[in-house]
Structure 1
């Protein structure tokens, strides 16, 4: 019987490369070793874009070793098509999430910090907005505030990602069908406890007036049959430990809500806090978030296999932390996981795809290519598009 690798997590300070913590994490062994098959090309009805914020091969491999073992695969690793994405923004070789997500949503480079907004002051039309124009249903799901950089880049246009209160207002006018995540603080008036608005605008009431079901708990999420959902399950990001609802639960509800439209749907799902674990050089946090994200990926792939008309594309916006693994000098069955920074890196990131025309996403891509190819496959017409 093959000996399983044991894994020692070590956070290393970039300045002097000395470990600042050491935690031994047991490795479990799963049973998933089969790759999903290629799917025959046909017209695509639905697109599900999964973004694992801050995730590179190191984060995926560390999660795999801890969650399923050295010989098995995470759900995301079973996708049959793989590629590599370059991530630089127009203002830096190291992108942030705003510019990285805008590259996907708009098919164009922008400066770090900008949300659906270009350096020349114009706005860019997003994949989600084009999907709405085509009569598709649309949704955004995240474990951060729903107004955070990645989800915001699909349904808002602001010069600074910090303007989450304004982003929430843009969401109200976007006609997006499903919003699920954290960020209640940006939707409630300043007079209410926990608010991070500087005015008395009650966006929750405005959403309800437009027919949205307002959800605050996992129980309400499970019970709702609404066609339009505003789920805000925390004032800020969702708790990482003992998360409720989980990303998988939000994903299930988003798919079931959107999948009743003859024109199909566009859904973006973000595993937001893998990035936060990277910023903290906290490997246990990263592993926990990889599991939460991969559980959601499994639900998406199960749906896509049954549906047969859904393209699934999975990638990241950038890598965070420079996570890498080396063999321990004293034990070849032990790995050291090291961090080189507490910020983003310029290391290219993985890209995976499943479903009709998934082969389009193999090889090296610029991050803008991903959005452009999705728009092309969905027959969205002219893209990229600049707006005044």
Structure 2
């Protein structure tokens, strides 16, 4: 009788454990195998290599003198990138799925396919008292960063996007886009609005230490210079500065960092441009991983909104010992893109899934 009781107890225990390790996603009735008792992150750093497909990542292996930071990840997934209205996405729809979880049309910034605004992960977390930051090598009004704090029907509405910044609650902005604040067609001085809403505005150089105030760091009229034009270590240094600032928040933080110009090199079909930007992005990844390793409560996610250029690493003139970067298009492609994750909750990012699942996975971990 004791043996039967013990066996029943074991079976019940297994059943309870199994039940606690899965949860049903009411949104689409899919099952998430997320251990309920696993450690969850306090902070999430989402690094987006705009236009970065697997060949772009592979370029780091061949063109970086040291071991790429991409190789520090053990958890790797693949994301499917189609937008709601086209098989091939653009950066606006591609970033809006990360920020809102909603598949939308190409060109949409923080709105659904019917142009209705959808709350972003940044807006949710600001209300919950998290620290938030956005860093890019484009203007901060460009498609990817804009999708995390603005809601407009078209990505080209740069002045309208900028109007969301003063009351966004974002603690740290760093990138370009100064002219959309102070050289506007409507004559508004949005730098004054930023200051009135508690921001320190910095337009000359990246500070060495964070301010006690929220920060708006704008170091270019529009997009930042290329690496080949002397941008230097802006991206890794801005990432480091943002983490130093946001980690002071006891509730936790969310930081989005974009290597914007990997995409621009792809559009231009310029292999050198793309690779220089990719290696700069890899350096920023290293800064984030080093912080996470010391912090112990930070999840680092690295992915892309789409691939650009149909980029590949072919042989040069049939010589299999020489790599020749080549392109098949000046636009985007529909290939899946990699998702790297390291830190608490990283196991959720294994597998193949739609790109909007990245939003739901992040929100599940930040419950």
TM-based fold match above 0.5: yes
**Structure 1, 325-334 or 105-114: larger mean CA deviation:** 325-334
Compute the displacement of 1:209 (Å): 1.6
Instruction: Report how many aligned residue pairs link the two structures.
Output: 329
Q: 1:313 to 1:223 in 2, by over 3 A?
A: closer
Q: Is the 8 A contact 1:246 1:292 kept in 2?
A: no
Q: Is the 8 A contact 2:93 2:106 kept in 1?
A: yes
Counterpart position of 2:47: 50
Inter-partner Cα distance in structure 1 for 2:325 and 2:232: 29
Inter-partner Cα distance in structure 1 for 2:252 and 2:151: 25
Inter-partner Cα distance in structure 2 for 1:119 and 1:360: 27
Counterpart position of 2:177: 183
Inter-partner Cα distance in structure 1 for 2:144 and 2:249: 25
Deviations 1:6-48 (A, max 9, x none): xxxxxxxxxxxxxxxxxxxxxxxxxxxxxxxxxx941311011
In the alignment, structure 1 residue 147 sits paired with structure 2 residue 144 = no
Counterpart position of 1:208: 195
Compute the displacement of 1:245 (Å): 5.5
Inter-partner Cα distance in structure 2 for 1:204 and 1:375: 32
Deviations 1:69-95 (A, max 9, x none): xxx631123111100010000110010
Inter-partner Cα distance in structure 2 for 1:276 and 1:79: 26
Counterpart position of 1:163: 157
In the alignment, structure 1 residue 324 sits paired with structure 2 residue 321 = no
Counterpart position of 2:22: none
Compute the displacement of 1:246 (Å): 1.3
In the alignment, structure 1 residue 84 sits paired with structure 2 residue 78 = yes
Inter-partner Cα distance in structure 2 for 1:187 and 1:49: 26
Compute the displacement of 1:367 (Å): 0.4
SS in 2 for 1:251: helix
Q: Is the 8 A contact 1:106 1:126 kept in 2?
A: yes
Counterpart position of 1:229: 215
1:25-174 correspondence runs (5 A): 41-68=38-65, 73-174=67-168
**TM superposition score normalised by structure 2:** 0.87
Inter-partner Cα distance in structure 1 for 2:38 and 2:276: 35
Inter-partner Cα distance in structure 2 for 1:276 and 1:332: 28
SS in 1 for 2:257: strand
In the alignment, structure 1 residue 365 sits paired with structure 2 residue 349 = no
Q: Is the 8 A contact 1:86 1:348 kept in 2?
A: yes
SS in 1 for 2:208: helix
Inter-partner Cα distance in structure 2 for 1:273 and 1:226: 30
Deviations 1:164-223 (A, max 9, x none): 1111111112111111000001010xxxxxx2x2111111111112221111133x5225
Inter-partner Cα distance in structure 2 for 1:56 and 1:140: 22
SS in 2 for 1:236: coil
Q: 1:291 to 1:329 in 2, by over 3 A?
A: closer
Counterpart position of 1:9: none
Say which one has the larger Rg.
2
Compute the displacement of 1:284 (Å): 0.5
Inter-partner Cα distance in structure 2 for 1:83 and 1:221: 36
Inter-partner Cα distance in structure 2 for 1:266 and 1:224: 16
**Structure 1, 318-327 or 89-98: larger mean CA deviation:** 318-327
SS in 2 for 1:267: strand
Compute the displacement of 1:268 (Å): 0.4
**Backbone CA RMSD of aligned residues:** 1.4
Q: Is the 8 A contact 1:212 1:226 kept in 2?
A: no
1:286-297 correspondence runs (5 A): 286-297=274-285
Compute the displacement of 1:337 (Å): 2.0
In the alignment, structure 1 residue 256 sits paired with structure 2 residue 221 = no
Counterpart position of 1:19: none
Q: Is the 8 A contact 1:217 1:245 kept in 2?
A: no
Structure 1 unaligned runs (5+)?
1-39, 189-194, 380-388
Q: Is the 8 A contact 2:210 2:244 kept in 1?
A: no
Compute the displacement of 1:261 (Å): 1.0
Inter-partner Cα distance in structure 1 for 2:112 and 2:318: 52
SS in 1 for 2:185: coil
Q: Which of 234, 246, 262 is 1:246 aligned to?
A: 234
**TM superposition score normalised by structure 1:** 0.82
Structure 2 unaligned runs (5+)?
1-36
